[in-house]
């Protein structure tokens, strides 16, 4: 399964994108500010340009793991149906614990990717995040896990 996140709107503190799964638009995304970091940069360069908790992960392609329960979100109502397992991006240079999860503003991200729908009234915000997360897990990611299918995300 292939996810593609296209970063569309960028401001000083946030980035809104569009998430596609196998070519189908699924929802919008919310991330921290995009500082133009590519996955191909040396880790030292990424660490130098990154501002902790305020920088979107480097563009590139990452495996999405569906085998780790999140200690932080284990008891969240939206994570409970999956035993606390939250999609986790593997091997993101200079980042640890990058998840795909519900959130509404970049301040809630800390490098993670939030899913939802772009707010019609508030710039730099997504809404209905838990609903979109549940749909993504129920319709796409969890069935892929059950089939033993690899899941990848490409961020551009």
Quickly tell me which residue has 């800390």 as its tokens.
Answer: 110
Quickly tell me which residue has 């569009």 as its tokens.
Answer: 18
pLDDT above 90 covers a percentage of the chain that reads: 99
Region 59-75: mean pLDDT is 96
Cβ proximity of 46 and 37 under 8 Å: yes
When pLDDT is cut at 50, 70 and 90, the band that residue 70 belongs to is very high
* pLDDT score at 58: 98
Region 88-106: mean pLDDT is 97
- For 30-40, what is each residue's pLDDT tens digit? 999 999 999 99
Structure tokens at 73: 């979100």
* 113-118/24-31 β-pairing: antiparallel
* pLDDT score at 44: 97
């Amino acid at each position: 399964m292939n996810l593609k996140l296209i970063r569309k709107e960028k401001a000083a503190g946030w980035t809104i994108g569009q998430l596609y799964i196998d070519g189908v638009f699924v929802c919008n995304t919310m991330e921290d500010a995009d500082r133009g970091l590519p996955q191909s940069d040396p880790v030292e360069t990424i660490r130098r340009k990154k501002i902790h908790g305020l920088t979107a992960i480097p563009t590139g392609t990452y495996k999405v793991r569906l085998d780790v329960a999140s200690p932080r979100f284990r008891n969240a109502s939206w994570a409970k149906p999956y035993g606390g397992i939250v999609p986790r991006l593997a091997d993101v240079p200079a980042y640890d614990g990058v998840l795909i999860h519900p959130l509404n503003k970049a301040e809630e991200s800390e490098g993670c990717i939030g899913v939802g729908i772009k707010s019609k009234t508030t710039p730099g915000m997504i809404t209905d995040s838990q609903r979109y997360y549940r749909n993504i897990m129920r319709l796409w990611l969890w069935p892929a896990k059950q089939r033993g299918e690899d899941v990848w995300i490409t961020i551009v």
